[in-house]
């Protein structure tokens, strides 16, 4: 009995002493605890496999001390083995959680595909689907070759995933007396400088599907008139440079993330799951490209009034919205990168905030359209649902449920107003409303974080290297709001400019827009060589006149 007490005390003291160090150490590192053999008496107390001769209907005999991996069969089970197993279990749980959430986000590509295809005309359905299909591969290739190292090459150790010390090369310039991180420089093709590493692989997968979400936003705005070759080149650049650079600044240890530690602005730019990094970058790039491509033929009359061009399948649109909402449970809760330790359990709060904002967003949009136009418009209801989800993406990890509901409600109304503004004032043709859903509401989400963050979240005692919890203006920290607004200024003043300039070059060398003849005929045959619905007779001209 005394030996058992000594063993338990040794175990507890080792856990308390080594816990913090373990979070940063590679999984294979030797534990700090001494290798104390467990006695025969203690092993006898453990359950033996023979105890399960009659099965284990209640599960009480499965998963016991006998299931702990032993490093040396001759020495038998040791305290070091037990501690190693505890660490491996924690990191294993976090790996499983992050990977599964990444798989959910990957499935969002299907949601985007059917939403965008449903909102375009039938004569362009194959072309729109093919853009959404290849955006996955083209974006991933660019990210694998160049984008990932630029974004995460200097991110440093991610404790929840067992530490990633190899991601430690950030290119910085010295400005205003501080180091300003501009881009990472480690991890090319996942083999460069020791990045052939299990934790790096998890981060790559999770970050890659985020990047792909950004690239697929653009295809929605530019559908029905975008040349396929131009789409591939433009997407390659977005996945290789535009997205990774801003993502590095926000998530990879770049200057926006360091606004708190370097300049005393709250906890630096805080974007929990990417309202700004993912959605605004996509929406703003879509706006820049839409300026270059112009509207579809027939969208505007000669006096500038917009014509409605309805999509061909509203059922796909709303079904796609649900697929996206399902994927969002990977997007936001998965961004804890953990279920065990450092605030991982807060994933439940993040998930509920995500649900609530989507719900209130759809209510906001439906009520706005019902009051203003007399009908609860289906496509705008779907967009409002997505707008609520986009807006809560940045603040989801930092706000309480009531704030989440308010943020979503505002987003639902805001997306309707923004769609009207983009169509009638800017006269930019956005067939799916992506600029408003992702661009406008992504910015709203970034600002909302600086307003509503309640200081109750705790992801390991600090955020972006600043002790304490992210706290917005309504809870006393104006500096956090300034950091968020700095992110907004960067999005519209830097990301927009970078996207615009590059896509002008694409226009010069490749040509962004299909011919008028192809556009009127529908892009399926001229661009893809086959129609989406060969058994149906399509209307040759589906543009309505004002």
Partner 1 sequence: MMFAGVVVAFVGFAIAFASLGVSDSTSVRLGMVLAGIVVSLIGIMGVITPAYQKTWIYRK
Write out the residues near partner 1 by the rule CB under 8 A: 175-176, 259, 263-265, 287, 291, 294-295, 297-298, 300-302, 304, 426-428, 478-479, 481-482, 485-486, 488-490, 492-494, 496-497, 500-501, 516
C-alpha to C-alpha distance for 395 and 411, rounded to whole angstroms: 13
Smallest distance from the beta carbon of 291 to partner 1, in angstroms? 5
Name the residue nearer to partner 1 (CB basis): 259 or 324: 259
**Distances in Å between the alpha carbon of 57 and those of 51, 65, 182?**
12, 19, 57
Name the residue nearer to partner 1 (CB basis): 45 or 489: 489
Smallest distance from the beta carbon of 521 to partner 1, in angstroms? 16
Please say whether the beta carbons of 483 and 471 come within 8 A.
Answer: no
Smallest distance from the beta carbon of 479 to partner 1, in angstroms? 5
C-alpha to C-alpha distance for 69 and 84, rounded to whole angstroms: 9
Smallest distance from the beta carbon of 538 to partner 1, in angstroms? 22
Smallest distance from the beta carbon of 476 to partner 1, in angstroms? 12
Name the residue nearer to partner 1 (CB basis): 138 or 309: 309
Smallest distance from the beta carbon of 438 to partner 1, in angstroms? 16
Separate counts of helices (H) and strands (E) for the chain: 19, 4
Residue 487 zone, left/alpha/beta (φ > 0; ψ -120 to 50; rest): alpha
Name the residue nearer to partner 1 (CB basis): 161 or 514: 514
C-alpha to C-alpha distance for 220 and 233, rounded to whole angstroms: 16
Name the residue nearer to partner 1 (CB basis): 314 or 492: 492
Three-class DSSP labels, 78-125: EHHHHHHHHHHHHHHHHHHHHHHHHHHHHHHHHHHHHHHHHHCCHHHH
Name the residue nearer to partner 1 (CB basis): 256 or 355: 256
| Cβ neighbour number for residue 21 with a 10 Å cutoff | 12
Please say whether the beta carbons of 544 and 309 come within 8 A.
Answer: yes
Name the residue nearer to partner 1 (CB basis): 351 or 492: 492
Name the residue nearer to partner 1 (CB basis): 30 or 501: 501
Name the residue nearer to partner 1 (CB basis): 259 or 403: 259
Smallest distance from the beta carbon of 494 to partner 1, in angstroms? 5
DSSP strands (E only) in 426-519: 462-463, 466-467
Name the residue nearer to partner 1 (CB basis): 59 or 177: 177
**Distances in Å between the alpha carbon of 391 and those of 201, 231, 417?**
29, 27, 15
Smallest distance from the beta carbon of 380 to partner 1, in angstroms? 23
Three-state DSSP at 180 gives strand
Virtual CA dihedral for 295, 296, 298, 301, nearest 10 degrees?
Answer: 0
- Nearest CA among 162, 133, 134 for reference residue 21: 162
Name the residue nearer to partner 1 (CB basis): 104 or 259: 259
Smallest distance from the beta carbon of 196 to partner 1, in angstroms? 37
Name the residue nearer to partner 1 (CB basis): 20 or 175: 175
Three-class DSSP labels, 39-50: CHHHHHHCCCHH
Smallest distance from the beta carbon of 543 to partner 1, in angstroms? 11
Residues 6+ apart with CB under 8 A from 152: 167, 184, 187, 203, 204, 207, 248, 251, 252
Residue whose token pair is 């707008």? 387
C-alpha to C-alpha distance for 452 and 276, rounded to whole angstroms: 16
- Nearest CA among 210, 208, 216 for reference residue 235: 216
Name the residue nearer to partner 1 (CB basis): 104 or 288: 288
Long-range contacts of 342-347 (CB under 8 A, 24+ apart): 342/23, 342/159, 342/160, 342/459, 342/460, 343/457, 343/458, 343/459, 343/460, 344/94, 344/97, 344/160, 346/397, 346/457, 346/458, 346/459, 347/97
Three-state DSSP at 467 gives strand
Name the residue nearer to partner 1 (CB basis): 428 or 451: 428
**Distances in Å between the alpha carbon of 403 and those of 23, 354, 413?**
32, 11, 16
Three-state DSSP at 182 gives strand
Smallest distance from the beta carbon of 299 to partner 1, in angstroms? 8
């Amino acid at each position: 009995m005394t030996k058992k007490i000594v063993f338990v005390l040794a175990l507890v003291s080792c856990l308390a002493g080594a816990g913090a160090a373990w979070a940063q150490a590679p999984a294979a590192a030797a534990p700090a605890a001494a290798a104390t053999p467990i006695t025969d008496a203690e092993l006898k107390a453990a359950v033996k496999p023979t105890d399960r001769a009659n099965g284990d209907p209640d599960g009480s005999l499965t998963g016991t001390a006998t299931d702990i991996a032993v490093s040396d069969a001759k020495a038998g089970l040791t305290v070091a083995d037990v501690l190693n197993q505890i660490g491996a279990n924690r990191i294993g749980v976090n790996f499983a959680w992050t990977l599964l959430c990444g798989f959910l986000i990957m499935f969002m590509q299907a949601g985007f595909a059917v939403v965008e295809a449903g909102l375009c005309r039938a004569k362009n359905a194959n072309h729109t689907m093919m853009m959404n299909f290849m955006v996955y591969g083209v974006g991933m290739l660019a990210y694998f070759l160049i984008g990932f190292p630029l974004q995460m090459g200097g991110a440093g150790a991610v404790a929840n995933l067992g530490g990633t010390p190899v991601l430690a090369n950030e290119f910085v310039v010295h400005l205003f007396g501080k180091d300003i991180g501009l881009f990472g420089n480690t991890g090319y093709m996942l083999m460069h400088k020791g990045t052939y590493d299990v934790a790096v692989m998890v981060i790559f997968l999770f970050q890659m599907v985020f990047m792909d979400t950004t690239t697929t936003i653009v295809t929605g705005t530019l559908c029905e008139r975008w040349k396929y070759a131009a789409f591939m080149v433009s997407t390659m650049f977005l996945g290789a440079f535009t997205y990774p650079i801003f993502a590095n600044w926000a998530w990879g240890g770049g200057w926006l993330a360091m606004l708190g530690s370097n300049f005393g602005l709250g906890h630096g730019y805080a974007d929990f799951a990417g309202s700004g990094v993912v959605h605004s970058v996509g929406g703003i790039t879509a706006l820049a490209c839409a300026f270059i491509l112009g509207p579809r033929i027939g969208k505007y009359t000669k006096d500038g009034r917009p014509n409605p061009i309805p999509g061909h399948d509203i059922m796909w649109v709303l079904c796609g919205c649900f697929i996206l909402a399902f994927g969002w449970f990977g997007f936001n809760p998965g961004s804890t990168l953990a279920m065990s330790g450092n605030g991982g359990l807060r994933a439940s709060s993040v998930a509920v905030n995500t649900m609530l904002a989507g719900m209130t967003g759809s209510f906001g949009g439906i009520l706005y359209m019902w009051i203003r136009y007399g009908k609860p418009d289906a496509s705008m209801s779907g967009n409002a649902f997505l707008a609520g989800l986009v807006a809560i993406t940045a603040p989801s990890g930092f706000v309480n449920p009531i704030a989440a509901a308010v943020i979503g409600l505002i987003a639902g109304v805001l997306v309707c107003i923004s769609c009207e503004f983009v169509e009638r004032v800017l006269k930019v043709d956005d067939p799916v409303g992506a600029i408003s859903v992702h661009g406008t509401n992504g910015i709203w989400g970034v600002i909302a974080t600086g307003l509503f963050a309640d200081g109750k979240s705790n992801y390991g005692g600090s955020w972006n290297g600043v002790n304490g919890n992210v706290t917005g203006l309504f809870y006393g920290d104006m500096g956090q709001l300034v950091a968020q607004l700095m992110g907004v200024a960067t999005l519209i003043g830097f990301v927009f400019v970078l996207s615009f300039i590059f896509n002008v070059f694409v226009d010069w060398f490749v040509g962004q827009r299909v011919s008028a003849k192809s556009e009127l005929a529908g892009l399926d045959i001229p661009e893809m060589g086959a129609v989406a619905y060969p058994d149906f007779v399509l209307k040759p001209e589906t543009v309505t006149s004002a």
